[in-house]
Each structure stands twice: as structure tokens, then as C-alpha cells.
Amino acid sequence: MDLIAWFQRDVLPAIASEYFGSNNYKVIKCEATSQDKGDDHFTSLTSFVNLVIKFDDKTPETHPMVLKLPPENPVFRKYMRTEPQFYNEVVMYTEAIPAMLEFIRSKCKLSTSEYEVFPKCYFGKWENMKGAVILEDMRNVGFRMCEERVVLDYGHCVVALKALGRYHAMSYGMKKLKSSSFYRLAKTFKETMFDTENFFQIIIARVVEYLERDKEFDNDTLQRFKDHIKDAEKLMLDLIKPKEPLAVLCHGDFCRNNVFFKYDNGKPCEIKFFDFQTVRYASPAIDLTFFCFLNTTSDFRWKHWDEVLGVYHRSLVESLADILGSSIVQVEKEYSFEKIKDEFRDYAF
């Protein structure tokens, strides 16, 4: 497939009409710049396109874009369940995020820019198992992935968890003030990871093999763990069931791989979220625990986790107070730090 020919023929007219609001345009330049997606994103075919376009008599505009397409191999698509993942991402960018931001702009007394932690979406479509997602290339506006491959330091954690608190606050605000719209969106997404197959049981078996070989646990602790995960699939399905009032629209894959940071004198100061393929309505701890255990060390957690969890909680309650027009004291009665800690404990598996 000629990427640029496909883009200009099948996609660009829709972008011009629906995103830019004009069918009268001239393409000054449209070229593929790279296909380097790195090692972290393997469920999509990712390409980068630089578009220079002129509307009517206006000055030409430059728009660097990221094109995400489903993998071509049908066996890989089935094994990795990429079709529901693409469906979720399209729904997130074309329905959920616009609805959330529209809600925020109508309710917030303070600046709404801090809630805009998403890249621009120029195009999203999924139909008959085909489609694409086309986003802003955030590298062009100063964002990049953290250079550290796995572990994030304190500064990165603070920026990430502040933004996660604001993101979760949008769910709570919509549940209270626009509940029918919110729950309609929450029911739209498809489960992409846990089902009635044996895949997760196989994964858990590898954990047991490691623990038995490495002997990190005493025999009694190891046996209790083995008893706990006898039906691993059911365990995970139970953990992702939404429980009110704390359930939120989770990112679902919240980790270093799926965020971009902007830096000021070498220190992280802003963040953007992407890759919403496994979004789900569930406990906020789904996002918190995945981030915690995948991107921090045990030593960091021992020293700082309550503190950075407090950063998340403060951002959550301050944002929600702004959205609801309430005091922080009122919000904390329902969303206290103790309740967040309890939620983390209950879902930390």
C-alpha cells in the first residue's frame, strides 16, 4: 500500500472537511518522514507524515501527524486482539475525549488547559474491522518520551500522577453532573485483555514458576499466593468490575510507554497521554497500580509512594472541587486520601 496515496485519497478529504471545516484546500507537501515506532508499541503499524496544506486564501499550515493502522497479519491481529483495541481507541478519541473536554470547558472556573492532556486527533474511524487513528505528532511541540527505559524518578512521577488525578476527576465530575452521558460512554468500550480463555492462566503460571525457582517467598506465603490465583481469569475479571463510587474511565495502560513529557531546563513540566486501546471503566487503582509497579522500584515505593499518591489525591480533589464548584473540604468527604489508599490496597494485585 502506498501510504501517502492512501492518505491523500481516503483520509485527507475527511480531515479537511471534519477537522478543519473546509473542502477547499491545496496540498503543498505531503511526505512520510519515518516509520520508527520504537520497541514499546507493537500492536499498531505506526507511521509519521508531514502535511503542508493551504485552505482558501490563507497561509499554508504545517501539520506533523502520527498514523496508526492495525497490523496486517491476521494471526497476529487475532492473538493480540487488536480489533477491539482499535475500536476502543477510535471511540476514545472521537467520542469520549471530546465529550469530556466539552464538559470541562462548561464547568471549570479556572484554566482548562491543564485538563487537555491528550494529543489532537485529526481522524478516527473503525468500520468492518478496518480503520485508522491519526493524531498530532507531539514531538513537533516539544514533547518526547522519557529517556529512561523503565524506572521513572520522583519528578516524572509527580508530573504523571498530577495529570492522572485531573484525568480521573473528569470522570467523577461527569458522573455527578452529566451522568447519563458519562455512563453511555463507559458502556461503549470493549474488554481487550481478560476473557474466558486460558491466556492469563498461562501468564500467571510463569509467575509461580519464577517464585518457586527464586525462593523469594517462604512456603506458606507461596502456597497462599497459589491458592489465591487458582482461577486467575476470574480473579482478574472480578478486579476490573467497576465498583461505585470510585470507578473511573481508566486509561488502562498507564505507564511510561504511553506518555510524552515536555521539559523545562531538563526537568519534566508537562505531560500528554496516548495509546487508549485498553481503556476501561473500573477502579482508579487499575491505573495507579500499573504505573506504580511497572515504573518505580521497590526502594522508591518504600520511600515515596504515600507521598506521590498524595500528589495524585491533591490533584484529584482540587480538580473535582473546581469542576463541581465545591470546596476541597466537601470533596474530600467523599474522596478522602484514606479511601484512595484503601482502593489501592484492594486492587493492587
- The pLDDT tens digits of the residues spanning 20-68 come to 999 999 999 999 987 555 555 567 789 999 999 999 889 999 999 999 9
pLDDT of residue 229: 84
DSSP notation for 113-143: GGG--S--EEEEEEETTEEEEEEE-GGGGTE
Confidence of residue 110 (pLDDT cuts 50, 70, 90): low
81, pLDDT greater than 60: yes
DSSP notation for 239-306: HTS--TTT-EEE-SS-SGGGEEEEEETTEEEEEEE---TT-EEE-THHHHHHHHHHHS-HHHHHHHHH
pLDDT of residue 35: 57
Do the beta carbons of residue 239 and residue 267 sit within 8 Å?
no
CA distance 45 to 36: 10
Take residue 237 and report the three cell numbers written for it: 475479571
Sequence length of the chain is 349
Q: What are phi and psi of 123, to 5 degrees?
A: -160, 140
Residues in CB range of 201: below 8 A, 6 or more apart: 232, 233
CA distance 47 to 153: 30
Do the beta carbons of residue 280 and residue 189 sit within 8 Å?
yes
pLDDT of residue 39: 54
Mean pLDDT throughout 86-94? 96
Q: Which of 100, 107, 244, 226 is nearest to 170 (CA)?
A: 100
Instruction: Give the residue ranges of DSSP H helices in the chain.
Output: 3-6, 12-14, 74-80, 82-91, 97-107, 154-177, 179-186, 199-214, 219-228, 232-239, 285-295, 298-324, 328-334, 337-347
104, pLDDT greater than 70: yes
* Cα 302 → chain centroid: 26
102, pLDDT greater than 80: yes
Q: What is the mean pLDDT of the chain?
A: 91
CA distance 140 to 63: 9
- Residue 55 is inside which H or E element, if any? strand 45-55
CA distance 121 to 104: 18
Q: In what order do the strands lie in the sheet with 143-144?
A: 143-144, 259-264, 267-273
96, pLDDT greater than 90: yes
Interval 242-289: pLDDT, tens? 999 999 999 999 999 999 999 999 999 999 999 999 999 999 999 999
Interval 173-232: pLDDT, tens? 999 999 999 999 999 999 887 765 666 777 788 889 999 998 888 999 999 988 888 887
Higher pLDDT among residues 318 and 150, named by residue? 318
Interval 314-332: pLDDT, tens? 999 999 999 999 999 999 9
pLDDT of residue 205: 85
Burial, 71: exposed, middle or buried (Cβ in 10 Å; 0-12, 13-18, 19+)?
middle
| Whole-number CA gyration radius for the chain | 21
CA distance 224 to 88: 36
Using CA atoms of 227, 229, 231, 237 in order, give the dihedral in degrees to the nearest 10.
Answer: 140
pTM: 0.92
The angle formed by the CA atoms of residues 191, 86 and 114, to the nearest 5 degrees, is 90
Higher pLDDT among residues 233 and 121, named by residue? 121
Take residue 118 and report the three cell numbers written for it: 491528550
